[in-house]
Amino acid sequence: MSITSELELIGMRKVSDAVAYTLKEMKKFAQVGMTTKEIDDFGGNILKDLGAHSAPFVTYKFPGFTCISVNNEFCHGIPSQKRILCEGDLINIDVSAELNGFWSDNGNSFVLGKDINNHQKLVDASKEILQKTISNIKGGVKIADIGSLMENEAKKRGYKVIKNLGGHGIGRSLHEEPDELLNYRNRHDQRRFKKNSVVAIETFISTTSSQAIELNDGWTMVGNKGGFMAQHEHTIVVTDGKPIILTEMNGVWN
Annotated binding site for a divalent metal cation: 94, 105, 168, 202, 233
The residues, ordered by sequence, that sit 6+ positions from 124 with a Cβ below 8 Å of its Cβ are: none
| Cα(198)–Cα(10) distance, integer angstroms | 13
Contact 249, 19 (CB under 8 A): no
In the annotated binding site, the residues are 76, 94, 105, 168, 175, 202, 233
**CB count in 10 Å sphere of residue 48:** 12
CA quadruple 153, 171, 192, 237: dihedral positive or negative?
negative
Contact 239, 139 (CB under 8 A): yes
Contact 178, 191 (CB under 8 A): yes
56 alpha-carbon distance from chain centroid: 13
Reading phi first (left if > 0) and then psi (alpha if -120 to 50, else beta), residue 105 is in beta
In the annotated binding site for substrate, the residues are 76, 175
The length of the chain is: 254
| Cα(166)–Cα(175) distance, integer angstroms | 11
